[in-house]
Amino acid sequence: MSNQMVKGNTAVVIGAMYAGCDCFFGYPITPASEILHEASKYFPMVGRNFVQAESEEASINMVYGASGTGHRVMTSSSGPGISLMQEGFTFLAGAELPAVIVDIMRAGPGLGNIGPEQGDYNQVVKGGGHGNYKNIVLAPNSVQEMCDLTMKAFELADKWRNPVVVLADGTLGQMAEPLVFPEKAIEPKNDKDWAVKGNAETMDNLITSIFNDFNDLEDFNFKLQEKYAKIDEEEVIVDEYQVDDAEIILVSYGISSRIARSAVDKSREKGLKVGLLRPITLNPFPVDRIKELSDKGVSFISVEMSNGQLLADVQFAALKKEDTYLVNRMGGNLIELKHVLAKIYEIAGLDEEIDTSKRSDEKASPNIID
């Protein structure tokens, strides 16, 4: 077998490089730093560009500059750094520049800690910076997807001229799984006719988010919304597991969805009709599919490591609040199987007690290797 055991953070760099990413700009932050380390190692090996920026503000603006030349470019960070980048996100969206940003979420608010969490959902999925824009957001749940969705992110960024975020967490970054390498590397053509490359052909081009005329800016905003509507139509990716006959559907993404999948298996062993709906694109969100299932009368449980941020979108899509539930952990704690099972059994009316009072003192590893 030519699969390789690879850590999630490394898989991101592999995906980026096979996708033809030419420039990596980043600033250290746990638990995303390994992406920076690996990029600093591998990018220069093939003559590509790596710069350790002075801050996340600088890295996202380096991304802005390099993206404006038409090259495939990226950065990575974690919650506090992503917060700092929000200015850059909205400028990228306003200038319609493609870029890939990888967010290895940690626990917040504030400095929080370096454990895994999914609390960046709102700031990444809903925009985060000022103005009427959205990011495209992809949520991997395995090392393979850390690679594959990073590649996909570059494709979508170019296709839609929009920032694309790969939203993962500390656990996915740290865990190792076999990786099937991309079949071949993409050699980007850089035939983007809007780019400014410092040559005669592109002299007339301008990268900007300024529209002085109010009507022009309004038109641009409408145009953006049309773009997002098309993205909603064309780009939704959802992974379904045992959903067809399910009466209780877990909605979950990222590492939480792995635990949710195990909960489906365990519940099915007890004869309960439980399924998992895993949005791979968080924006666009699988609104129609959730509505369809909602109309069938299923119960939804949002399994997330945040304060109901995903649940709110599930309720919005389902057009109901009743019969929707939340199983969550925060603060750097991984979702535990028993918590998910306890909620499923409760909803299903199964008379089985699960003790969920004890909190595990095991922590997902940040960066330690013995």
Size of interface with other proteins, in residues (CB under 8 A): 87
- Does 149 contact other proteins by CB under 8 A? no
Q: What string of DSSP letters covers 41-66?
A: HHTGGGT-EEEE-SSHHHHHHHHHHH
Q: Identify the residue among 9, 33, 61, 135 touching other proteins (CB under 8 A).
A: 61
Query: How far is Cα 222 from Cα 276, in angstroms, rounded to an integer?
Result: 35
Binding-residue pattern over the window 341 to 370 for other proteins, x denoting contact by CB under 8 A: --------------------xxxxx--xxx
CB atoms within 10 A of CB 297: 8
Q: Is 9 exposed, middle or buried (0-12, 13-18, 19+ CB in 10 A)?
A: buried
- Does 9 contact other proteins by CB under 8 A? no
Q: Identify the residue among 171, 283, 309, 324 touching other proteins (CB under 8 A).
A: 171
What is the phi/psi pair of residue 358, to 5°? -80, 130
Binding-residue pattern over the window 310 to 339 for other proteins, x denoting contact by CB under 8 A: ------------------------x-xxx-
- As measured in angstroms, the least distance from the Cβ of 321 to other proteins is 29
Q: What string of DSSP letters covers 103-157?
A: EEE-B-STT-BSS---TTHHHHHS--SSSS---EEE---SHHHHHHHHHHHHHHH
Query: How far is Cα 191 from Cα 159, in angstroms, rounded to an integer?
Result: 12
Contacts of other proteins in 223-262 (CB under 8 A): 258-259, 261-262
- Does 111 contact other proteins by CB under 8 A? no
Q: Identify the residue among 109, 191, 193, 199 touching other proteins (CB under 8 A).
A: 199
Binding segment for other proteins among 158-166, 177-185, 311-319, 348-356 (CB under 8 A)? 177-185
Partners of 240 in the beta sheet? Answer: 277
Q: Identify the residue among 193, 213, 244, 269 touching other proteins (CB under 8 A).
A: 213
Contacts of other proteins in 263-292 (CB under 8 A): 263-265
- As measured in angstroms, the least distance from the Cβ of 288 to other proteins is 25
Binding segment for other proteins among 28-36, 76-84, 88-96, 289-297 (CB under 8 A)? 88-96
Query: How far is Cα 365 from Cα 332, in angstroms, rounded to an integer?
Result: 10
Partners of 293 in the beta sheet? Answer: none
Contacts of other proteins in 19-38 (CB under 8 A): 20, 22-23, 25
- As measured in angstroms, the least distance from the Cβ of 349 to other proteins is 24
Query: How far is Cα 108 from Cα 44, in angstroms, rounded to an integer?
Result: 34
Query: How far is Cα 11 from Cα 177, in angstroms, rounded to an integer?
Result: 10
Distance (Å) of CA 295 to CA 238, 250, 252, 300, 355 = 18, 16, 19, 12, 33
- Does 68 contact other proteins by CB under 8 A? yes
- Does 39 contact other proteins by CB under 8 A? no
